[in-house]
Amino acid sequence: MLHVPTAPAQDEFIHCFDYGCKSTRSLSFDRDEWQAIGDVFSLPTQDAAQEKQQIRRAIAKMERIAGAKAGTEVDRGGNYNGEDLSMQQDCIDESTNTLQYLQALQRRGWLRFHRVDLKQRRIRWFFTHWSATIRQLDNGEVFAVDSWYRDNGQPPYLQRIEDWRRKADFSPELNPD
């Protein structure tokens, strides 16, 4: 295992849950947790496609750590599967948490082919959905990083923003697992 230098554990997250960030919990990751997250980036990537998969794995790991600390490890994908469970997260919660995680990865210099972009919203009929996004540096293409569809700690779905806006199926090319 290669050692990946990490910044001091200074990031504090405002972890959102209970639909629409109705409840929050302040948390941070310790040095060992940052090391485990950094290990995802320990092998240099050759291109943006490889880095996207590292991002997916890092976000999943960050969700597992945060979920254990905040009590949201039982979060189920979507709103309906877990609406009767406490500590659940909707797309506002998920996108807010994911955006913070992406920003932390960027601050540590672990993103070489992407930068964190703004949260995006889509409206289809009467339903609004939010996602964190990343922008690929070489071509400016924007990708949704959407963890709402999956249970806590599973890699988020990635999707070109145009496809995400029209609610296309998730591509196996971007989401191999």
User: What's the pLDDT tens digit per position in 41-65?
Assistant: 999 899 999 999 999 999 999 999 9
Beta-strand runs (E) in the chain: 12-17, 23-28, 114-116, 120-124, 127-136, 142-146, 157-160
Token pair for 114: 């992407």
Across the chain, mean pLDDT equals 91
Q: What is the pLDDT of residue 38?
A: 97
Report the pLDDT value the prediction gives residue 54, as an integer from 0 to 100: 98
pTM: 0.91
CA atoms within 13 A on the CB side of 168: 13
Percentage of the chain beyond pLDDT 90 is 80
Instruction: Give the pLDDT confidence of 86-132 residue by residue, as tens digits.
Output: 789 999 999 999 999 999 999 999 999 999 999 999 987 778 999 99
pLDDT score, position 169: 96
95 burial class (0-12, 13-18, 19+ CB within 10 angstroms)?
buried
The pLDDT value given to residue 10: 58
Q: How many CB atoms lie within 10 A of CB 153?
A: 19
Is residue 166 over pLDDT 80? yes
How do residues 8-51 score in pLDDT, each as one tens digit?
345 799 999 998 999 999 999 999 999 999 999 999 899 999 99
pLDDT at residue 124, rounded to an integer: 75
User: Tokens 């972890």 sit at which residue?
Assistant: 15
Predicted pLDDT at 78: 87
Amino acid 2: pLDDT: 35
For residue 143, name the pLDDT band (cuts at 50, 70, 90).
very high
Q: How many helices, marked H, and strands, marked E, lie in the chain? A: 4, 7
